[in-house]
Copies of this chain bind each other. A is one copy, B any other.
Amino acid sequence: MPNQRAQAKSPRPSTGRRRNDRAHRCILDTTLELLETAGYHDLTIEAVAARAGVSKATIYRWWRSKSALVAEAIATRLDQGRVPITGDPRADLRASIQVTIDNYGGSVGGIALPALLADLVFDQDGYNAFRENFLVPRREASAAAIRRVIETGLLPADTDVELLLDVWAGAIFYRILISRQPISPGLADDLLRIILGER
């Protein structure tokens, strides 16, 4: 992820004392910790401040809302999407799908994401930051994987890549968070076949 500061407020002027990076990181850690313990709804700025040994004002100095704080916390920790390019585009695509499953199935993705999205419904700025820092990079990586499959001929050249990305992520998101169906080991393969139109 290029910009770790996600939705943080604009940078400070150059004079005077600089940001205390140790405290900064501690706040993000505490945020994730409490997210997993209490959920987004019960995650309070006061609790983060108390647990991180920081004053509330310090948090507000660097993030303008709970959603901005959570968005950055998620973005910094959910960055494990690197899938090597092996030369077998079909296998690479399968591996990428598996990464998505792991991401959404993990505690942070499963707990924080829905609440964050709910907050962003009425917050266009917040959504834009989320999109640029989180969504776009991931979709770009996934789209590249699909495009490599297209080049091998397993998918037609006029494939609607965007739609396949939505099917891919949507099916996983929905199964884990909404229908709460069990996640079988074969899920990645099943999805792979659906995406490739194999029957």
Partner-B contacts on A (CB < 8 A)? 39-42, 110-111, 114-115, 117-119, 121-122, 127, 131, 135, 139, 155-156, 160, 162-167, 169-175, 177-181, 187, 190-191, 194-195, 197-199
Contact = CB atoms under 8 A, between A and B. Distances in A.
B121 A178 contact: no
A117 B121 CA distance: 13
Given A162-B181, A167-B171, A173-B178, 15 more contacts: A40-B121, A110-B121, A115-B115, A117-B177, A117-B178, A127-B180, A163-B190, A164-B194, A165-B179, A167-B170, A169-B174, A170-B170, A170-B171, A173-B174, A194-B197
12 contacts: A110-B121, A114-B117, A162-B179, A166-B171, A166-B175, A166-B179, A167-B167, A167-B171, A169-B174, A174-B174, A194-B197, A197-B197
Contacts of A114: 114, 117-118, 121
A190 B159 CA distance: 11
For this chain, the copies found in one complex come to 4
Nearest to A16: B55
Contacts of A39: 121-122
A116 to B, nearest CB: 8
Contacts of A131: 180
Contacts of A169: 170, 174, 178-179
A135 to B, nearest CB: 7
Contacts of A191: 163, 167
